[in-house]
Structure 1
Amino acid sequence: MTLDLTVAIPSHNDNGHLTRLLSHLAALKFTRSIIVVDDGSLPAPDHDTLIKASGLAPAQLTLLRQPQVAGAGAARNRALLHTTTKHLLFMDADDLPTRELRALCRSLAQAGEFDFCMFQHHDSRMGQSGQWGQMAFDQSLWDKTELNHRNLSEVSTTDAACLAQTANYPWNKIYRTDFLHAHRLRCSDTLVHNDIALHWKSFLRAGRILSSARIGVTHFVTPGGNRLTNRLGAERLRVFEPLEEIALEISVENTPKSPYALAFFGFALGLLCWVNESLDPSLRSELAQRSTAFFNRYLSRSMRTQLKQQRPDDWQRAAKLFQLTV
């Protein structure tokens, strides 16, 4: 039994890495369909050229094009609209799947219905020091659960709230396509920070979550350059759009969603501190003002006390930057 799976790939001016990824997918043979959404690349990739270079069957690859750059989030949303398989995995053009991902897909095909399965990954920055696996912060969150050494496991609400605080990547989850459609889950249309809403809303709305300690993807991080993820200007201030969406949803929900509240606002503390460090210095004053307003709007006194106790480093930095008090 195999998983009925589509791999969806946004790509922008990355035809070399895209061809490499498609070649690996062709060799591993774990996906029925592949959708590439080209995001305004110059030159644009060509379907026949990609097929010839990768070894994929022509009918296996769908190539869509956005004539103007709209961002990876918009590209993923478009791919979702064209997905006809039961399950969906997003990947970046410069990611690489591992054999462990193929093994995971075989296990998931026999796991019954699930909304999504989150798996571990290898970060190229770890490889620079000869290590294999995730960045230390993400790994520490997995280590706090009982899931870190299990190839496939059900995820409790407590453990899910812990895993939700990892980096909000879209390519470390295999989704049930109908789950995404039923709950209208999409990426934001922002050029950066477009995966926050998809990540958190998936946790908030899922019924059955699975996890796997298998390392399914190698993720490559390249500092500098013209990649959208390296933009440090005013587009970073749109981070408040998805943060407000999630904060509002958490604020109106009672149990069992409430365990996510502390997790989310702790994540927001760390994220906004990171944005401040990487942002154009001329924009930091505006970021501080908007961050202060955001936390004052949503954080109760008891929540502030808990955050100070559970995430002391993030709280100390945020309190100084954004004038937060308990």
Structure 2
Amino acid sequence: MTLTIAIPVHDDEAFLLRLLGRLARLGCADQLVVVDDGSPTPLDHAALCAAATLPADRLTLLRHDTAQGPGIARNVALAHVDSDHLLYLDADDLPTRELPPLLADLASQTFDFCIFRHHDTRSEMERRWGPEQLDARLWRAAGTDIGALTPVGPKAAASLMQTANYPWNKIYRTDFLRAHNIGCSDLAVHEDIELHWRSFLAADHILASDRISVIHFVDADGDRLTNRLGPERLAVFTALDRIAAEIATREADPLPLALFALGLIGWIHDHLLPELRPAFADRARDWLNRHVDPALYPAIDAARPKIWADIDQLLVPAATG
């Protein structure tokens, strides 16, 4: 099994050097592909290799002269991958010591992708190690929270689909992504929704690992893409429309996407700039009316009894009427 780790980066050299140094110490990547997405000061290949003590031939550095977004950067990286497996990481992520054992677990396996657990630093407020509570519940519901490696059947996949759609909690078979033309959207945020959902919809062989292999750092007061709460958040419906259309074409179960979308819509609405909430509510109401059949409401209520109360009542008047 050979592995490439692909890393989009924009004006984030300090975090990138921290990540590259950790990867060098873990020794778990055959190839590193870094895409400098329009950093004001271009990254230097030799300087990166020297600072991270990496051989020059193990790191490929690509550059966009103007920022095009992390989704496009990841898609560009995929085109330069020579290994049979791929892991996306963001510059401010850190792999843990569990990543090499995970790769050893996977070495003899055949799979389209393996989803693994991660640690979210927001969990530390509750003195927990692992993902946030909703994701932890979904892993338990899938029956994949105990045991180093578990095959994922349709029922488990329906739960894991609803977990946070991060690009960096899955190890992909490179040819699987290419055969199904699976990549990220060209959106400023929510660019990873299509990568996550289309992977689940297209895969025949999914594995899940309970090894917590990456730390995801969240700074509520930071200036990262995840902290953006402006009009770019309204583009979420572009990604959700595409996934809903693919689910309809495949005649797949629409319930997991409905649950995922309701939770995401509620989170965005609660965090969005107040002046954007009316327009967002209109877009959300339109999306729900088009893609969430009222026949699903009992199943939604059974799965998450409080979900309607978690979002502004203006978003779902038909459900509360």
Structure 2 residue aligned with 1:106, among 104, 107, 121?
104
CA apart distance, 1:319: 6.7
Distance 1:72 1:274 in 2: 21
Deviation larger for 223-232 or 184-193: 223-232
Which of 304, 312, 326 does residue 297 from structure 2 map onto?
304
Could you tell me how far 1:129 is from its partner in structure 2?
4.5
For 2:189 and 2:282, the matched residues in 1 are separated by: 20
Q: Residues 67-109 of structure 1, C-alpha deviation per residue, up to 9 Å, x if partnerless?
A: 1111111111110111111000000101111121110101111
Once the two structures are superposed, what CA deviation does each residue of 1:248-298 show, in whole Å capped at 9, x if it has no partner? Answer: 1112323xx32xx11111110010111111111111111111111111112
Distance, in Å, in 2 between the alignment partners of 1:51 and 1:127 is 33
Q: Distance in 2 between matches of 1:208 and 1:292?
A: 35
Amino acid in the other structure paired with 2:188: L
Of 167-176 and 307-316, deviating more is: 307-316
> Are 1:37 and 1:63, in contact at CA under 8 Å, matched by a contact in 2?
yes
- Equivalent residue for 2:47, pick from 49, 53, 65: 49
Q: 1:139 aligns with which of 107, 132, 136?
A: 136
The CA deviation at 1:304 is 2.1
CA distance in 2 between counterparts of 1:42 and 1:64 reads 14
Could you say which residue in structure 2 is the equivalent of 1:266?
A: 259
Q: Aligned match of 1:148 in 136, 145, 156?
A: 145
Moved more, 125-134 or 270-279: 125-134
Structure 1 residue matching 2:146: 3-state secondary structure: coil
TM-score scaled to structure 1, two decimals?
0.95
Aligned to 1:27: 25
Cα RMSD over matched residues?
1.3
2:227 corresponds to which of 221, 226, 230: 230
Tell me if the contact between 1:73 and 1:187 (Cα under 8 Å) persists in the aligned partners: yes
Aligned to 1:162: 159
Count, aligned residues? 319
1:188 matched to 2:185? The reply is yes
2:288 alignment counterpart: 295
SS at match of 1:138: helix
Q: C-alpha distance in 2, partners of 1:204/1:42?
A: 38
**1:62 alignment partner, SS class:** strand
Which whole-Å deviations, capped at 9, do the CAs of 1:208-249 have from their partners, x for residues lacking one? 000100011011111223322211111110000110001111
2:211 partner letter: R
Which SS does the other structure have where 2:28 is aligned? coil
User: What is residue 95 of structure 2 aligned with on the other side?
Assistant: 97
Q: State the Cα deviation string for residues 112-171 of structure 1 (Å, max 9, x = none).
A: x21000000111122345431111111111111221111011111100110111111010
CA–CA separation in structure 2 for the residues paired with 1:92 and 1:278: 23
1:199 pairs with 2:196: yes
Task: Label 1:288 to 1:218 Cα distance change in 2 as closer, same or farther (>3 A).
Answer: same
Task: Say which SS state the counterpart of residue 160 (structure 1) adopts.
Answer: helix
The residue number in structure 2 matching 1:70 is 68
Residues 20-56 of structure 1 show CA distances to partners (whole Å, capped at 9, x for unaligned) of 1101111111110000001111222211111111011
Q: Structure 1 residue 248 and structure 2 residue 245: aligned? A: yes
Q: 1:60 aligns with which of 58, 61, 71?
A: 58
Question: Secondary structure in 2 aligned to 1:103?
Answer: helix
SS at match of 1:202: helix
Percentage of pairs with the same residue: 47
Residues in 2 aligned to 1:17 and 1:183: alpha-carbon distance in whole angstroms? 32
Give the unaligned 5+ runs of structure 2: none
8 Å CA contact 2:266, 2:312 repeated in 1: no
SS at match of 1:144: helix
